[in-house]
Structure formats: structure tokens, C-alpha cells
Amino acid sequence: MTSTEHAVAVIDETVSAPELTAPQVRKRTRAHAHLSLVAPLSPDRASRGTFVLIVTAILAFALITMLVINTSLAQGSFTVQALRGEFQALQENEQALLEEVAAASAPIALEYRARELGMVPSSTPVFISVPGGQVLGKPRPAPGIASSTTARIATNATFTTDVSSLPTTFAGSRGIAVGGSAPSPRSGEDALWQELPPRSLVAPDQPLVVVSDSGPDDQLMAEPVVD
Amino acid sequence: MILLVATAIVLTLFGGRLLELQVLRGPSLAEAALGQRLKTTDLPAQRGSILDSAGDPLAVTVEARNVTADQTLIDDPASTAARLAPIVGIDAAELTPRLTGDRKFVYVAKMITPETWNRISDLELPGIFSEITTRRVYPGGELAANVVGFVGAEGVGMGGLEYALEKELAGKAGNQTFEKGPGGRVIPTANVERVDPEPGMDVRLTIDRDIQFVAQEAIAERVRSAQAASGTVVVMEVKTGRILAMATAPTFDANDPGSAKAADRGNRVLTDVFEPGSTAKVITLSGVVNEAAADPYTVIKVPPRLRRGGEAFQDHTPHGTLRLTLSGIMAQSSNIGTILAAERIGKYKLYDYMKRFGVGDDTGTNFPAEGDGYIPPVENWSATSLPTIAFGQGLSVNAVQAANVFATVANGGIRQDPRLIDAFISPTGEVITPESGERTRVISREASRQVLTMLETVVGDGGTAPLAKIPGYRVGGKTGTAMFVDPRCGCYTRDVVASFIGVAPIDDPELVAAVFVSQPRSGRYGGQLGGPVFTRVMTYSLQARQIPPTGTRAPRIPLTAKG
């Protein structure tokens, strides 16, 4: 222990030395003769208490922070899982709906629906050229429509439609198809037909539903044809 | 003192064990622990869709669930089975054994819809789990099934384009490795490795699903009414070579390929080859006209019989000596007239034209199991080869090749490869168009025009196919009634392949439709069996493609010469 005390004393001297002004140096040099022991430094009780407090605080802060971060990460993981589940459910729902749409818009479903509405396939494609209103093709009533209806369809669709009033966007590169499947009103369904403006027959962007028919041509087979 | 020694011994033992666990076996134990937490799951790649020309789906992949069970967690298999049975649609008696035992993982049902799984999940049955998988759905069912093909239980293409384009459609599966806590939750701070799956490409076909549908309906009905073995229809766009429809009957439901006969799952349009019969006269007469050996008005004296190479050739209807024009030979499909015309150009030129029109050459569609057809090399021709080949016997083609002959004539004499795939669409939306094949001139534009004029006489009143008329339109075509070659014996049978291949509008060709009816029991001739199907399909196609009539009148072309 004594050596430490000496060392402290020496260190004290050495450390202080550069800070001394010239006259002090001279004074010290004189005092050098009376070298004596210095009492050991007593630990400062107050500052040690502060130190412990600070360390504890840091530790506690670190622990709490860790806890908060971990909790929030775990919470995040739960949220992610919940959201994933929701996403999955929504995706599945979307797919189920898309599948439904695909099935409903398949040609066979459309044909069925069209027939339900009383539509029949057209046997003669007829076009109106725009501008000019020239009728291309031979308009002919579709087989299977009552004659009065046929007359009305023919009148509406082919002859009295004011072609020049049609928006030009309706014109395809070559003309407008009007030979599409025409609705044939059945009992009590007349209202439906009247609600449809003649123009609705001639939207060329919509695929016209032409469906199976036994075909008048099969009945025309009176004479055997040879090859 | 004893206590001190005992403590020292115990501490030494502890220390030794610590050393062993932490230092000696440390790394391997840590790895094993990680192994317990680590889980790698496959991330399946989304299979590309197959779309029609307008982008409507013909085949799509949707999410599905496999129902799995941990048998050790199921206390009462019978009641679990009874509750599951009505939802999954499997008999309870069949389900019970799958739920009984001590296996920790068994499949209960595969590929059910997410909706169905939700209903099962709501029952909260212990030991019943699900895994996410995908299911291939064909919204149209039979629609273009023979073209699109189908996939097997593992979702891998087994037929048609699903098989041929497996590489493009499948994409690349990825995987995900993560550390999971109890309950399968991902441990947030741990390492996660993820290799994203690469989705497959979408494939857009040239098929127009509406035309395809009408073609399928029409041919199915014809096969039924004619009690035929099978039938096919091809619709092609003349100027682009795009195939708008490839229909065959009988067909199958792509959603349930297992219940169909193998023969009905293939695409006869490309796989079946047959003798073209009289439709091949178009090649012969195109050659004759292109070589300027005759024109539509050239009169040829047609005797009732013609001897060549020791065989006597006749026409389908007995007649005396006729003076037919080349148009008349086409219109009435005279074998003898065609032989005499072919002899004007000789066998080498005839063979050359057959090859240039694509006989025996693959179509370039790269369809699996495509039949290329066959024509014997001209060196091997016998004395009867030229006469028979001139009218379509002794060579074979598939339906697309036969249709493409007419498309070539209609396209001003320029042949191009038929196209079935319009484009590939990458997951990023990039559109990749396959190279179009080469275009070769086979006959001159003028020859093409003359042959088309002759084809128009076939549907005229003196022709073999008056039933193929379309009111308001000028159309033309050629009938064929070829002898059916039984593939088992390679011999002729009493059966025939009746066909009609037509072009519309004939003076500005846009579409070709070809109809083939194989081995009909009721009816026999191409004009009679194929004609009405052609009319129906072509009438619809003209509307769907918005092709108006040209408004011109057919010229009057004499079929016979007076005197």
C-alpha cells in the first residue's frame, strides 16, 4: 500500500509540473527537500452512488428497450400473419369471382343465355356500310322467328335505321354487322324488345352470338349430291 | 474438508459437461436446434394462362387447397369422416380409413376450392389441416380442349399445348427458408431466405373462342347425324395464316380428361393424316394453270374410262364422252379430266407442286404428335402414281395442311406457315411474338385468281357442293370423298373421309374453312356432309370477323363445251 501512496505523491508532482509557472518551479525546487507522505485519497461516497445509479439506469433502459422492440417485432409478426391471412382470403375470393366470370362468359353459357332470351342464330350476315348506308348482303329473316316480329326486326334493323346518325366509331373497317342474333319476343316479353333501340343490334365490337341450328341447308338436301 | 472436496468434484463435473456441450459438441447441437426451427417451404410458380386471340382465358391456374390429416390427433375418425364427407364429396366409408392410424400426414382430399376449405375450417375438426396448392381450370370445358390440352395430377402438361409449351408455361418454383416458433409463426429476428418463384408466361393463341365454339358445335352435330367416327374443322385467316379455330369431335372436357378416351383427347386436326381425295385436285389444277398448260376455259375431252398402267380409271358417276372445261372438271370433280390435265405438266412438275403446297411438310405449329403426311418420292412412282396422286390418292395430309393449300391459293399464291400461337406474354407484360415462318410463292397471282374462279363453280348449280352456298356472299371450295385408309392394316376400307374446304369471299379472300367427316355411316359425299357445316361455320365467322360481302356478281363460266 505504501508504494502506492508514494506513487500518488510522485504522480501528483509530475502531473502538476508542466502547469507551474517559472517562479513556482523555482519554489518547488526549493520545496523538494521536504518530501513527505500524502494521505491516501478517500473514495467519494456520493459519486459512487451516482455511478451505480447511472449504470442501473442504462441497464434498465436497455432491457426495457429490448423488450419493447421485441414485443413490437412480435406484434408485427402477428400483424403480418393476420394480413397475410386476409390477403390470402381476398385473393381466393378474387379468383373465385374471376372463375365465375370466366364460366359465365364462356360461349356455351352465352349461347344458353341468348336462347333463353329468345334469340336465334342469324343465317345471313348483313352489313351496312358507313357512310352511305348501303346494305351489303341479303337480309333474310332468321329461321324460327314469328313473321310479325321478323317484319319489325327487318324494318328496325335493316331499312329504316338512319345510318348517317350512327356514331362513326360504330363503323368497322368495312362496315357494320346487323345480321346478329335478333331477339324474338315471346309471350309477354315484347317490352324487352321495345326497350332495345335498333342500334343495339349493330354494335360490332360485341361478338354476335350465333348458335347451333339444325340449319335450313340440311332440309334443302332434296337431291343426292355426288362428288 | 469433505464438503470442499465434494463441491470441487461436482463443479468439475459441471465444468466438464459445460465444456462438452459448449465447445466439443457446441456447433453440431446449435445446428440441430436451428434445424428444428428452420422450415423450408416450396413457393410454387404460377403457371401461365392460355388465352384466346382476344385474351379470354382458355386455361387458367387458380388457388386450391389439399386437405391433410394428422391421424394421431383424430380421436373419432368415424365422426370426423361423417362431417367431412358431404363437403369434400367423398364417401364417409372411404374417408374413415384415411383418418385412422398413427401417421402424422395423409392426404384426405386434393384440389378443393378455397371456399370449400373455409367450410371445413369452420368445423374446427382436430387433426384436419390444409396446404395451399394450385388447380388448373378450363373455363370453357370442352372449348378448344383438343388444342389447349390438359394437365396431370401434378399440374404438369400432359396433352396438347399444355404439354408442348410446358417450358414456357411452367415458370420456375422458388422456396422460402425461415425459423419458425411454435404454431408455425415466423420468428421475426431470425434469418429468412427467400428465392422468389418466377411465374410462367401466358400464351395467347390465334384461336377465336367464339368461332371455335361454333365450329365445335357444328362438327359435333354432323358427326352425330352422320354416325361418323370423327370429324374436324379448321378455320384460317387467309392473309395472315392464323388459325382461328381447330375443332374436332368427339372431344373431351379438359377439366376431367380422365373420363375421356385417349383418342378423343388428342388433336385430330394435326395428328390424323388421311388421303385428301378430290380436294387435292386443287393442287393438280393449280399447277396446270400456273404452268399455263390450261386455263379455266380450256376444253378437255373426257372419255368414260381411261386406261393407265394397266388400270382403268372412272369418274364417280358413269358418263359418256364429255367435253368439259377445266372449270367443269373442277366443278364436277372429274377424275379422268384431272388425270388428263395433270399429264399436260407431267409427273415431275406434279410432284413439285405437291411439295410446294406443303404435302409431307410439317405445318410449323410444333404441335405434339403432329402427322406430317406423306407423298412418295417421284423416283418411286409407278405408272399409276401420276393418275392417282393427281386426284388425291396415294398421298396423305393432315387437316391443317389441306386447309393451307386453299389458303395459299386464296392468298394470291403465296404460302405461309399456319400460325397457332399469337404471342407469349411474360410476367412483366412483355409481349414476345414468335417469328412468322417463311412466305413462298407457289403459284402466280393470276393463276391464283383463275383457280379461285374455278372453285366458285363448285358451289354453283352444276357443281358438287351447292349446299355450301352462303346467301349474299360469293364463296368457292372443293369437295372431297377419299377412301379411308385403316391405320391398322394400311389398307383401303369401305369407309370414306368426306370433306369440303371453302374460301370466302372468293373475289377478295379472307377466310378458309375446312370440314372433314371421317367414316360416316349415313351419307358419303363431301358436298353433302361437309357443305352445310362449312356454311354454318363460315357464316358465323364472316359475321364475327366483320367481313361484309364484296357485292360483286359471279362470272358465268361454261362447264362444258358444246358439240
Provide ipTM, 2 decimals. 0.73
CB contact under 8 Å between A225 and B140, yes or no, is no
Task: Kindly report the average pLDDT of chain B as a whole number.
Answer: 91
The alpha-carbon gap from A215 to the nearest alpha carbon of chain B, in Å, equals: 8
Same domain, A142 and A66: no
The pLDDT value recorded for residue B28 is: 83
Amino acid at the residue B129: F
In the CATH scheme, what is the code of domain B209-420+438-544? 3.40.710.10
Q: Which of B253, B332, B345 is nearest to B294 (CA)?
A: B345
For B29-56, the DSSP string reads HHHHHHHHHEEEEEEPPPPPPEE-TTS-
Would you say A180 and B543 are in contact if contact means Cβ atoms under 8 Å apart? Answer: yes
Least confident of A146-160, B131-145, B532-546: A146-160
- Choose between B443 and A155: higher pLDDT: B443
Beta strand B106-112 pairing with B128-137: unpaired
Same domain, A18 and A53: no
In a domain, A38, yes or no: no
Quick one: pLDDT band at residue B451, thresholds 50, 70, 90? very high
> pLDDT (tens digit, 9 = 90+) per residue, B87-115?
888 888 888 988 998 888 889 888 888 88
The alpha-carbon gap from B534 to the nearest alpha carbon of chain A, in Å, equals: 11
Q: Which of B104, B105, B108, B126 is nearest to B116 (CA)?
A: B108
Res A175 pLDDT > 60? no
- Nearest CB to A225: which of B63, B114, B464? B464
Same domain, A24 and A65: no
CB contact under 8 Å between A226 and B316, yes or no, is yes
The ranges of chain B annotated as CATH 3.90.1310.10 are 41-71+102-205
- Nearest CB to A225: which of B472, B528, B548? B528
CA B489, B491, B493, B499 torsion: positive or negative? positive
User: What mean pLDDT do residues B375-399 have?
Assistant: 94
User: What mean pLDDT do residues A152-171 have?
Assistant: 37
Helix H or strand E encompassing B480: strand B476-486
In a domain, A114, yes or no: no
- Choose between A179 and B25: higher pLDDT: B25
Residue corresponding to grid cell 332495345: A196
In a domain, A100, yes or no: yes
**Looking at beta carbons, which residues of chain B come within 8 Å of A90?**
none
Would you say B196 and B67 are in contact if contact means Cβ atoms under 8 Å apart? Answer: no
- So which residues of B are the catalytic ones? 278
**Looking at beta carbons, which residues of chain B come within 8 Å of A121?**
540
- Choose between B435 and B242: higher pLDDT: B242
Same domain, A83 and A60: yes
Residue corresponding to grid cell 372445261: B325
The alpha-carbon gap from B46 to the nearest alpha carbon of chain A, in Å, equals: 13
* Dist. CA B55–CA B161, nearest whole Å: 16
The pLDDT value recorded for residue A126 is: 86
CB contact under 8 Å between A125 and B467, yes or no, is no
CB contact under 8 Å between B525 and A102, yes or no, is no
> pLDDT (tens digit, 9 = 90+) per residue, B253-274?
999 998 899 889 999 999 999 9
- Nearest CB to A225: which of B187, B466, B480? B466
CA A195, A198, A199, A200 torsion: positive or negative? positive
Would you say B325 and B297 are in contact if contact means Cβ atoms under 8 Å apart? Answer: yes
User: Pseudo-torsion of CA B417, B418, B421, B423, nearest 10°?
Assistant: 60
Quick one: pLDDT band at residue A182, thresholds 50, 70, 90? very low
Geometric angle at alpha carbon B10, from B7 and B13, rounded to 5°: 150
User: What mean pLDDT do residues B164-184 have?
Assistant: 82
Q: Which of B488, B466, B487 is nearest to B477 (CA)?
A: B466
- Choose between A181 and B369: higher pLDDT: B369
Res A188 pLDDT > 70? no
User: What mean pLDDT do residues B393-404 have?
Assistant: 95
**Looking at beta carbons, which residues of chain A come within 8 Å of B483?**
none
Interface probe with B: pick from A70, A83, A130, A227, most Cβ of B within 10 Å: A227
Beta pairing partners, A133: none
The pLDDT value recorded for residue A23 is: 54
Least confident of A33-47, A200-214, B441-455, B471-485: A200-214
Chains A and B form CB pairs within 8 A to the count of 164
- C-alpha pair distances (Å), A14 with each of A8, A21, B47: 10, 14, 83
Highest mean pLDDT among B118-122, B233-237, B457-461, B489-493 belongs to B233-237
Same domain, A6 and A58: no
The alpha-carbon gap from B1 to the nearest alpha carbon of chain A, in Å, equals: 33
Prior bond of B126 cis (ω within 30°): no
CB contact under 8 Å between A76 and B188, yes or no, is yes
> pLDDT (tens digit, 9 = 90+) per residue, B271-296?
999 999 999 999 999 999 999 999 99
**Looking at beta carbons, which residues of chain A come within 8 Å of B552?**
none
CB contact under 8 Å between B189 and A73, yes or no, is yes
Backbone dihedral region for residue B478 (phi beyond 0: left; psi -120 to 50: alpha; all else: beta): beta
> pLDDT (tens digit, 9 = 90+) per residue, A97-107?
888 888 888 89
The DSSP output letter for B434 is P
Quick one: pLDDT band at residue B531, thresholds 50, 70, 90? very high
**Looking at beta carbons, which residues of chain B come within 8 Å of A83?**
none
The alpha-carbon gap from A192 to the nearest alpha carbon of chain B, in Å, equals: 24
Q: Which residue of B has its CA nearest to A121?
A: B540
* Dist. CA A163–CA A154, nearest whole Å: 14
**Looking at beta carbons, which residues of chain B come within 8 Å of A80?**
186
What is the Cβ-side half-sphere exposure of residue B111, based on CA atoms within 13 angstroms? 11
Q: Is B394 exposed, middle or buried (0-12, 13-18, 19+ CB in 10 A)?
A: buried
In a domain, A110, yes or no: no
CATH value of B41-71+102-205 in 3.65.10.10, 3.90.1310.10, 2.30.30.700, 1.20.1250.20: 3.90.1310.10
User: What mean pLDDT do residues B175-196 have?
Assistant: 71
Would you say B510 and B239 are in contact if contact means Cβ atoms under 8 Å apart? Answer: yes
- Nearest CB to B139: which of A77, A95, A102? A102
Q: Show the domain range for A125.
A: 120-208
Least confident of A140-149, A168-177, B38-47, B154-163: A168-177
Res B306 pLDDT > 90? yes
Res A159 pLDDT > 90? no
Same domain, A144 and A176: yes
Res A208 pLDDT > 50? no
> pLDDT (tens digit, 9 = 90+) per residue, A71-130?
998 888 888 888 988 888 888 888 888 888 888 888 989 999 999 998 888 888 888 888
- Choose between B44 and A223: higher pLDDT: B44
Helix H or strand E encompassing B477: strand B476-486
Least confident of A213-222, B107-116, B181-190, B535-544: A213-222
Same domain, A64 and A90: yes
User: What mean pLDDT do residues A143-150 have?
Assistant: 53
Residue corresponding to grid cell 394435326: B270
**Looking at beta carbons, which residues of chain A come within 8 Å of B186?**
77, 80-81
Q: Which residue of B has its CA nearest to A220?
A: B467
The pLDDT value recorded for residue A174 is: 38
The pLDDT value recorded for residue B2 is: 86
Q: Which of B325, B226, B335 is nearest to B277 (CA)?
A: B335
The pLDDT value recorded for residue B21 is: 83
The alpha-carbon gap from A188 to the nearest alpha carbon of chain B, in Å, equals: 30
Quick one: pLDDT band at residue A150, thresholds 50, 70, 90? very low
CB contact under 8 Å between A225 and B317, yes or no, is no
Res A185 pLDDT > 50? no
Residue corresponding to grid cell 379422268: B336
B364: number of Cβ within 10 Å: 21
Least confident of A95-109, A139-153, B237-251: A139-153
Q: Which residue of B has its CA nearest to A72?
A: B188
User: What mean pLDDT do residues B30-50 have?
Assistant: 82
CB contact under 8 Å between A127 and B548, yes or no, is yes
Q: Which of B407, B406, B436, B439 is nearest to B422 (CA)?
A: B436
The ranges of chain B annotated as CATH 3.40.710.10 are 209-420+438-544
**Looking at beta carbons, which residues of chain A come within 8 Å of B479?**
227
Residue corresponding to grid cell 361478338: A207
Q: Which residue of A has its CA nearest to B551?
A: A136
Would you say B555 and B450 are in contact if contact means Cβ atoms under 8 Å apart? Answer: no
* Dist. CA B241–CA B233, nearest whole Å: 15
Same domain, A95 and A130: no
What is the count of structural domains for chain A?
3
Same domain, A56 and A77: yes
Helix H or strand E encompassing A88: helix A45-104
- C-alpha pair distances (Å), B254 with each of A110, B64, B143, B250, B266: 19, 17, 8, 13, 11
Amino acid at the residue B214: V
Res A142 pLDDT > 90? no
- Nearest CB to B63: which of A95, A136, A137? A95
Q: Which residue of A has its CA nearest to B478?
A: A227
In a domain, A184, yes or no: yes
> pLDDT (tens digit, 9 = 90+) per residue, B124-136?
888 898 888 888 9
